[in-house]
Structure 1
Amino acid sequence: MILIADGGATRTSWSFINDESVFNFETEGYHPFFVDARYIEQSLQKALPDILASCCDQIREVCFYSAGAGYSAEADMVLKNGIASVFPHAGVSLATDLLAASRALLQKDAGFAAILGTGSNSGLYNGKEITHNIESGGFLLGDEGSGAYLGKMIIAGYIRGEMSGELKQAFEDRYQLTPEQLINEVYTTKTPNRYCARFAAFAGAHIQNTYCRELVIVNFDDFFKKIIVHYPNYQHYSINAVGSVAYYLKDIFEEVAARHGMTVGNLFPSAIDGLTRYHQARH
């Protein structure tokens, strides 16, 4: 019995593989920059479905792909200790969410993979490992193309009075927040990246509005201008991506990619199904 996990900042998608059967479920995201091992343990224990909670001792392998893996030994230990507390007899291996995306999108083929979810990342994959990665900078320094980046623009547009009266009213009806409350929430919440990313859905819901459409274009255009075009020979590749932002805003993503001389390949809302296929083929 093995567990595969694709851990983003907002949610973690799990695949429980038992012989030929597969069972999928979700928990919240466990980014080691924002949570500790005890938090992971308690959250996992509460969220485990009954089919798995009764056999935690029988899990022999946990492959955890994380948005926060590989940055430091301390961050990796937060993940390992939290997971090992729930699955005490399992070997826990960590890898980056970018490797998860690459394996899900491309399996064993070489190519370009990207993540455009709560955060963003990208890299060139040779069929085994990431060979070139330009750091996105994370929530504070970058994350262009992501839900958090788009959400920040939506929030800023509202608090600065940039929205039309009709759009402003739609925003207030949906979220019931004043500009002052929004600013307070952004700066006091424990996970500001996740908080800001939730507002990206507003742009998607109002994509026919010129203002929202332009913000989505800027979000993707910044992703290409500030990151993708700096990869060597980037136009030789199609761009493949996992994550809700690229998937649900596919038409605009393809439009912006074409402006930069790239075609779009696979787009998946999540990496977990492709990642499960990858690990099933390996075992």
Structure 2
Amino acid sequence: MAVRILLEGSLRTTAAAIGLAALVAASLLLPVARCAPAPVYENEEKPWWHNPCSYNPNRIRHSRGIPPAVKTQLKTIVNMFNSRVSQHVQRYCSKFESTVHSKQIKKPDWLPTKKFFQSLDDNVSALPEFHYQIQIHAATLHKLWNMHIESAVSSFDGIERSNLMNDTAQHMKSLLCEVETAMNSSKLHRKKLVPINYVSDVQIPSKTNFTTGIVTDCTLLREYGNFLRKSNKKLSGKNRRRKAGKTKKAGKAGKSGKPNKNRKRTFRRRS
């Protein structure tokens, strides 16, 4: 009887020890909360910009003008950037304006060039290239977000910076989803997918000093704003209408305001 009681006690002690070990192991698997979270991806090989709204565009159909509804959505997205994200960028950068002006960096050569904006037009065939360039900005933001800025400056707030990056990422995701929706409805291929390691450590370092970090942040975030505004003008057809208006006026009169000599004249015969 004594042996049985001793055995049961030993089993209960062992079970309790196993339960405690399981509880400790489970607690170690729980995610640790961070004050300034970096971007989280479900799969490092497949970042969020590869599938922002679960659409899968098929083959290209006949080219045509971008639907008015899509233009409206693009305009809304740009306005949202101007009213929310752009102001956040301005607040963040204005605190360190003297630092930003103290060290200028060249425009990154992997971002859209003048040639890209010249090729944009009010046609759905331009959307795949536009979609691709947004992905490049998304990959740039990912690298920027993971750049650690070493700073002892009291006015620098890592949480504020992280929130700014998060706002910009959410905006990019919304924009990509709108463009991908338009491509899907027009049976357009995505050009190609930008990998998560598109931007190297040489282009944006994983760790840097305060001055270089702030200048890099503000330069790249402002470049994204410029990219949006220029793209929206081209895709909405504003530039085309403006040029057409100038051409029409030039046909009526020369630079001096006098009638154009090359204009065909008609005369009435006197009765």
Task: Name the TM-score class by shorter chain.
Answer: under 0.3
TM-score by length of 1: 0.22
Pick the structure with more helix per residue: 2
Larger Rg belongs to: 2
Pick the structure with more strand per residue: 1
